[in-house]
Amino acid sequence: METNETIALETTLAPKTKLSGKVIKTTLAGAIIDIGQPLPGVVHISQLSKDPVNKVEDVVKEGQIVDVWVRRAKKDRIELTMIEPLALEWKEIEPDMVVKGKVVRLEPYGAFVDIGAERPGMIHVSELAHGYVKTPSEVVKEGDEVEAKVLEVNRKKKQIKLSIKALEPEIEEFKPAKKENRKGSKASRKDDAEVAEAKEPQEPELTAMQIAWQEALSRSGAGKDIKFRKTKAALSREQEDLLNRTLEKRLPTGG
C-alpha cells in the first residue's frame, strides 16, 4: 500500500525534474545521491554520462555535488540520471502540435530548428511563409527563436517536418478583373470602337443616275465651280429633270 509520502513524491518529482544533490556513496553499479528526499536517489552507471563508463569513480566521487534529473519515482528509490533528458521524446512528438525552438542551421532548401528533440526539426523553404520565398535567410537567421507546427514525424528515419506558415493567417491573393471586363482595357476600347462604327451611318453609294449627272456637268462645263459631294439623301427631283433634259439634247433619238 502506497503511503501519502510516496504519493507526494511521485506527484512532485515528475520525470525530467532537475535536482541538485550530493554523492554519498559509489558502487560498481552506480552512485547514491542525497537529493533531500526521504527516499534515496540512485544513478545507474549507464546514466552517469553519454559516453560509456567503465568505472563509476571516473565520473563522480563521494562528497561531490552534481546535477541530476528524475527518471522515475518508485516506492523504494528515486531513479536519477546525470544525462540531461530531451525536452521532447520521440513518443511525445505528434503532428499538429506547436513547438518552440532556435534556428541552428540554414540550407538552401530550408531551416533546421532545435526543438529539444534528439534531432532538429526541418522547415522547408516553402513552409517558412506565405508566398514565394527564394532562400530561408529572407525569413529567418541562425539564432532566431521561432514557433512552428509539426507537420509530420517519422520516428524510423528520425525526421521532424515543421511549418511556420501553418501558424500564420493565409493572405488572400488579389485577383484582378478579367481583361475584357476591366474599364479602359484595350479589349474594352476595341469593343467600344466596333460598336461606335456599327452605329455610324454610312453614306449611300452613287446611283447610276447620279453618276450620269456628274458626267453631264463635266462635259457641259456647268459644274466647274461646283464641288460635288456625297450626301446622305438622294438628289432632288429638279436635278433629275435637268439631267433628263440635258441627255435628250445630247443623245441621238431613235427617229
Tell me the three state secondary structure of residue 218: helix
60 to each of 23, 27, 49, 55, 130, how far by Cα in Å? 8, 11, 10, 9, 52
* Beta pairing partners, 81: 69
4-81 matches 90-167 in fold? yes
Q: What's the pLDDT at 250? A: 59
Rounded to whole angstroms, what are the CA distances from 197 to 15, 150, 190, 193, 230?
Answer: 86, 63, 11, 6, 19
DSSP bridge partners of 107: 110
Nearest in space to 143 (alpha carbons), one of 191, 103, 188: 103
What residue ranges do the domains of the chain occupy? 4-81, 90-167, 204-224+236-247
* Tens-digit pLDDT string for the chain (255 aa): 455 554 455 446 899 999 999 999 999 999 999 999 999 999 999 999 999 999 999 999 999 999 999 999 998 999 999 999 999 999 999 999 999 999 999 999 999 999 999 999 999 999 999 999 999 999 999 999 999 999 999 999 999 999 999 999 876 655 566 655 555 455 555 555 554 455 555 555 556 666 766 676 666 655 444 444 444 445 566 666 676 776 666 555 544
Query: Domain 4-81 belongs to what topology?
Result: OB fold (Dihydrolipoamide Acetyltransferase, E2P) (2.40.50)
Task: Read off the DSSP letter of residue 71.
Answer: E
Amino acid 170: pLDDT: 76
* Model confidence, pTM: 0.55
User: What's the CATH superfamily of 90-167?
Assistant: Nucleic acid-binding proteins (2.40.50.140)
- pLDDT for 190: 52
Q: How far is CA 71 from CA 15, 35, 57, 176, 199, in A?
A: 5, 14, 22, 60, 91
Distance, in Å, from the CA atom of 219 to the CA atom of 33, rounded to the nearest integer, reads 136
pLDDT value, residue 206: 59
| Amino acid 245: pLDDT | 72
